[in-house]
Structure 1
Amino acid sequence: MSGTTAPPPGSAPVEVTLDAGVAVITLNRPAKRNALTRSMRRDLAALLRHHGDGHRARGIVVTGRGDAFSAGLDLREAARAPLDLPAEMELFHDITRAALAAEVPVVAALNGVAVGGAGEMALSFDARIATPGAALVWPENATGLTVSNAASLFLPRLAGAARARELILGSARVSASAALGLGLLDAVTEPEDLVPAARRLIHRWTPPGSATAAHLRLLRPDADAVERAMARETEAVRRVQAAGVARAGIEAVLARRR
């Protein structure tokens, strides 16, 4: 797939191809802007574990098909009774666990907007590359929801505490150029070079005989700190659900879409 941004489209909502030793995982639900259903989140975590063991691939790229990386949580699915946002969040958290346990680099190739949990999971990856038209959006605060994927740890770590506070409380939409300046992205490149650029980065980080797996373990946050952050996020979403704030926010978003 050299020179392309994604493998040929298929029917699976999460697809994977191997190219030049790199596993490219593609979120393939473009008609729904790659909104992440429960099964998609399970599949993504499973694929990260399968290809992250160091035996099958030297790195993993996660990208999306269509004009969005992912709209984040599939709110229509989540809103079906009974609402269980802690369980929804746990499926996101398992993606972060799988990415952080990988023996190989995990790179997000943001082909478009990454909303909420989708952008938050990308923060837990080892690098993020985006197209000029991509953006990161954290709408949770304004819609009565809360952040996930240890974003409460990763966002201050990458952008600083003050900027993280503004991004989350201000329900920010951050353009690719602004995200690059904030340290949330590692590079911005043209769409046709997005996946190839991510693949080149993985090749550069994994030369023959390298100690990349050992250094990834050293450079990633401590697993206990990540688990503490995710536990606090789960408790936060439990509180806003119990208060009715989350249900009202989801219904308002769905009403605007209708």
Structure 2
Amino acid sequence: MTAPTTPATQHIAVDVVRDVAVLTLDRPEKLNALTVAMRRRLAALVREFGTGRRVRGIVLTGRGRAFSAGEDLTQAPTTEAEVHEAFESFHDVTRAVLETRVPVIAAVNGLAVGGASEITLCCDARVGTEATEYFQPENARGLTISNATSLLLRRLVGNHALRMVIGSERIGSAEALRIGLLDEVVEPGALVERAVDTVRAWTPQGGTTALHLALLRPRTAEVEAAFEREDRAAHEAWTSGLLTAGVAGFWNTKQTEETTA
């Protein structure tokens, strides 16, 4: 008998702070690891608040010591159809953010891994603390990037994208600020408040923020072309067996570490 799953709504907390929607990844015991259901819920919430009718903007953050550990590998795909579903649910978060008529700010409270770090790339700004750290381990795990990262990461950091993805280098907050991955680093207690302040500063009454967001964000055709490239790479990783072997290797290493700890 399959154990009942916790509703995705219990893993994403929703608050409105000074007319700004704060969406918090709320699964700290799992380092806010993202399931397909959580990603679908997140995309739906971004679309709900992104119209601008209820709030001035959106802040995305995490509870606990991590922003998110990325893809929940306890629910790793076991069929090609599940691979497609997993990638599509990541892509849809990016679509939802880029379709909003309000600013979306990532308040990156801690470690941001893989697909979770990629989700922050489509946001209009990224605010962090000294604890913020980016880590994209996909290349050594048989996984491939998603979320239009092949477009958005280079757009933000240029050739640093190569060492982040291919070298899987961990990027701390100071380095992230230097290369343009973070826009600002603040004290932990001020993180969400600073992100809210940014939204409010960017949405003056009677302003044309929605029009400028549409002008400054990457074009839809560019993003969809990136999704297609990433989907082809995911298909190749699956059919070659690299994805399955990489996930198995991750769990074997984790089990060994826990046994020897």
TM-score (norm 1): 0.93
**1:23 pairs with 10, 13, 21, which one?**
21
**1:143 pairs with 125, 141, 144, which one?**
141
Letter in 2 for 1:24: V
* Residues 202-239 of structure 1 deviation map (CA, whole Å, 9 limit, x = unaligned): 01100111100000000000010000001100110110
Deviation at 1:171, TM superposition (A): 1.1
* Residues 115-145 of structure 1 deviation map (CA, whole Å, 9 limit, x = unaligned): 0000111001100001111101111111111
Q: Which runs of 5+ in 1 are unaligned?
A: 1-10
Moved over 3 A (4+): none
CA–CA separation in structure 2 for the residues paired with 1:149 and 1:97:
9
TM-score (norm 2): 0.92
Contact kept, 8 Å, 1:109 with 1:198, in 2: the verdict is: yes
Q: Is 1:233 matched up with 2:230?
A: yes
**1:247 pairs with 241, 244, 247, which one?**
244
Deviation at 1:82, TM superposition (A): 3.2
* Residues 174-224 of structure 1 deviation map (CA, whole Å, 9 limit, x = unaligned): 001101101011001111000000000001100111100000000000010
Contact kept, 8 Å, 1:127 with 1:186, in 2: the verdict is: yes
CA–CA separation in structure 2 for the residues paired with 1:149 and 1:110:
17
Deviation at 1:256, TM superposition (A): 2.2
Q: Which runs of 5+ in 2 are unaligned?
A: 1-8, 256-261
Q: Is 1:188 matched up with 2:194?
A: no
CA RMSD of aligned residues (A): 1.0
Residue equivalent to 2:204:
207
**1:176 pairs with 167, 173, 190, which one?**
173
Residue equivalent to 2:35:
37
CA–CA separation in structure 1 for the residues paired with 2:249 and 2:84:
20
Residue equivalent to 1:8:
none
CA–CA separation in structure 1 for the residues paired with 2:194 and 2:168:
30
Letter in 2 for 1:200: D
CA–CA separation in structure 2 for the residues paired with 1:126 and 1:201:
10
CA–CA separation in structure 1 for the residues paired with 2:92 and 2:67:
19
* Residues 139-191 of structure 1 deviation map (CA, whole Å, 9 limit, x = unaligned): 1111111111001001111111x221222110121001101101011001111
The size of the alignment, in residue pairs, is 246
Contact kept, 8 Å, 1:76 with 1:254, in 2: the verdict is: no
